[in-house]
Amino acid sequence: GNAQELAFEDASFDAACACLVLNFIPNQKAALAEMRRVVRPGGTLAAVVWDHAEGMTMLKTFWDVVDELDRDPKPVEEPNPLLGPRDLQRLWHDMGLADIRFEPLVIDMPFASFDDYWQPFSHGQGPAGMYVAQASPAMRVDIARELRRRFSISNPLAPFTLTARAWAIRGTKKAAGESQTPTRT
């Protein structure tokens, strides 16, 4: 399906949630407008997005290492704009939702070994993986070595855990006749 053109009647659902998907939708505002359209008045609109800027230890540390080691990095662009906490709050306010609640969700990300952590990068997954795919073999070795050092991994076969943060937001669609002026929390 297409998140920007939901195949449902207006006011069909009590709730709509976009979990870990908004950052992959080209027109996020259109997708959210569709969510709002299909939710009944009094229903809930919710979303969760990873905190790519500060809360994803596995990615933030990777990019910190790249910034330090690569004197001539090739740009890797995100296909869509990544939403941060202020972006989410603004979008929910702009939709005129009531009772907006916003909170961080922090989880542990266990890895069986350093290789378990490194595999997605070495297969070209995501922007970090795209960077690794175009990096020289020597640069890949240097990045992996520095990541093991920063994660205090003396045994690359040993399990380790990193933390990750996501932002969760929800709001209530106002009933017909209620002011659609966004509330501020």
Query: Could you tell me the CATH number of the domain that includes residue 122?
Result: 3.40.50.150
Would the pLDDT of 183 be above 70?
no
For 20-65, the pLDDT digits (tens) are 999 888 888 999 999 999 999 999 999 999 998 889 999 999 999 9
Q: Residues 99-118: pLDDT tens digits?
A: 999 999 999 999 999 999 99
Which among 134, 136, 133, 153 has a CA at the least distance from the CA of 145? 153
Contact 4, 27 (CB under 8 A): yes
In a domain, 5, yes or no: no
CA distance 153 to 130: 24
Residue 119 lies in a domain: yes
Any idea what DSSP says for residue 126? Answer: H
CA distance 12 to 14: 7
**What share of the chain in percent tops pLDDT 90?**
72
How many other C-beta atoms are found inside a 10 Å radius of the C-beta of residue 44?
Answer: 18
Whether residue 182 lies inside any domain: the answer is no
Angle between helices 114-122 and 126-134 in degrees, nearest 10? 80
Greatest C-alpha distance within the chain: 64
Q: What is the pTM of this model?
A: 0.81
Domain count, the chain: 1
Asked if residue 164 is part of any domain, the answer here is yes
Residue 152 belongs to some domain of the structure: yes
pLDDT tens-place string over residues 113-141: 999 999 999 998 888 999 999 999 999 99
Interval 165-170 mean pLDDT: 96
Give me the pLDDT at residue 9, please: 94
Under the banding of pLDDT at 50, 70 and 90, the label for residue 176 is confident
Q: How far apart are CA 111 and CA 117, in angstroms?
A: 6
Query: What is the structure's pLDDT at 72?
Result: 82
For tokens 């020289």, name the residue. 136
1 in any annotated domain: no
Query: The domain containing residue 99 runs over which residues?
Result: 13-172
With respect to residue 185, please indicate whether it lies within any of the assigned structural domains: no
Which of the two residues, 181 and 62, has the higher pLDDT score? 62
100 in Cβ contact with 146 (< 8 Å): no
Q: How many CA atoms lie within 13 A of 47 on its CB side?
A: 25
Q: Is residue 44 a part of any domain in this protein?
A: yes
